[in-house]
Amino acid sequence: QVQLVESGGGLVQAGGSLRLSCAASGRTVGSYVMGWFRQAAGKEREFVAAIKRSGDSTSYADSVKGRFTISRDNAKNTVYLQMNSLKPEDTADYYCAASPAYYSPRSPGMYDYWGPGTQVTVSS
């Protein structure tokens, strides 16, 4: 099993940047595909980005492509989400998650482990 804890959320103005971190304990994140999801108030949890075990393949939701970058440092057991050019519609709770899959799933149901989330608020 792996335990995940997100950090780095906060309040930022539109156009600004934030870097989220997801620190893992227990089993190494290198054993999992890692993903970031978000959930805005009153909405379903949605896929943001995913990265394969070696870090050589990433995928993004169309809404964040070109603005967000997912990366991982398996030696530090940490996954990151660099968020640039933030928009008010990016406001949500952001979650990292770990999947045993051998591709980059976009469905939350394919991820077995989740962090408690970190809040991101983008003001206009």
Q: pLDDT, tens digit, for every residue of 100-119?
A: 998 889 999 999 999 999 99
Q: pLDDT, tens digit, for every residue of 10-22?
A: 999 999 999 999 9
Distances in Å between the Cα of 31 and the Cα atoms of 6, 9, 63, 98 are 18, 25, 28, 9
Distances in Å between the Cα of 77 and the Cα atoms of 58, 64, 108 are 17, 24, 21
Q: Is the pLDDT of residue 59 over 90?
A: yes
CB 22 within 8 A of CB 73: no
Q: Is the pLDDT of residue 80 over 90?
A: yes
Task: Please give the DSSP secondary-structure letter assigned to residue 119.
Answer: E
Mean per-residue pLDDT of the chain:
96
Q: Which of 12, 23, 36, 35 is nearest to 84 (CA)?
A: 12
